[in-house]
Amino acid sequence: NVKSKCRWNEEMGMAEVIEKNGKMWVSTGIVRSGKIHTSIEETLYLMELGALHLVDNENGSISLIEMYEKVAGGKYGCCWELFEAYRYLKSLGYIIGRHHVAWSLKSIRSSQKPDALDGTEVSEQLVDIGSKVEVSISKLFGELKINDLKPDFDIYLPDSRFRKSSPGDPNFLLYLSRGHLPSRAEIESLEKQCEGIPLKVCQVTEGRVSFFSFDKVELPALP
């Protein structure tokens, strides 16, 4: 019954949570320095639900129409078709994050092998990791080209035990096809980036969201 409040950062293409209400923050937004930041698709989705009030730097309200225009412009690593895919999966309860964007720095720390770090080297390496992650986020949320051949989202099945500090591997990765289904060479390139995690290809046509997956099949030799 009480909306959360976020402040939009035009340069980053993200929103910073100012007032947090509701349980959706368990699986929404990335955590940095104790603050939650939401991508443009997360921000718009929550606004559509009526769960989020978005303001600018002068505390002026930002409308849904303004956010629709930002998404339609294809900025910040998101486009309208990608948002429709995000909205569809979120409505089904899936947990969705940008591909290769850590939910929190704690999740990076937990993935490091303890025997590989010791003493002051721990803090030094984590600071280095953290700075690299911040640079990655800046690129993914502010400079990413929509047509880059890489998975778009990490998808997790609905799970009440999900934690940003230890999310585990996604159940599958999602790639939005841009106008046509990917070629065999493109699929093989995408699968190499998946590191064994299943890949699904999404296509959005006139508001209809479709999903595809590909298996390798050995055809029998004909006599």
Residue 90's CB is within 10 A of a number of other CB atoms, namely 19
Q: Judge whether residue 120 has pLDDT over 80.
A: no
- In the prediction, which pLDDT does 115 show? 46
> How far, in Å, CA of 144 to CA of 152, rounded?
11
**218 CB contacts (<8 Å, ≥6 apart)?**
none
Give mean pLDDT, residues 197-203: 95
- In the prediction, which pLDDT does 82 show? 95
Q: Judge whether residue 122 has pLDDT over 70.
A: no
- In the prediction, which pLDDT does 125 show? 46
pLDDT tens-digit series, residues 165-192:
999 999 999 999 987 888 889 999 999 9
Tell me the pLDDT band of 164, cut-offs 50, 70 and 90. very high
Tell me the pLDDT band of 98, cut-offs 50, 70 and 90. very high
**178 CB contacts (<8 Å, ≥6 apart)?**
146, 147
Give mean pLDDT, residues 197-201: 95
Element (H, E) at 160: none
- In the prediction, which pLDDT does 124 show? 47
The domain defined by 1-78 folds into MutS, DNA mismatch repair protein, domain I (3.40.1170)
Give mean pLDDT, residues 73-97: 94
**187 CB contacts (<8 Å, ≥6 apart)?**
199, 201, 214
- In the prediction, which pLDDT does 117 show? 42
- In the prediction, which pLDDT does 75 show? 84
Both tokens of residue 85?
Answer: 């895919």
- In the prediction, which pLDDT does 135 show? 54
CATH code for the part of the protein at 79-107+147-222:
3.40.1350.10
pLDDT tens-digit series, residues 8-57:
999 989 999 999 999 999 999 999 988 999 999 999 999 999 999 999 99
Q: Can you give the residue ranges of every domain in the chain?
A: 1-78, 79-107+147-222
Q: Judge whether residue 220 has pLDDT over 80.
A: yes
- In the prediction, which pLDDT does 138 show? 57
Residue whose C-alpha is closest to residue 164's, from 99, 114, 112, 95? 95
- In the prediction, which pLDDT does 123 show? 45
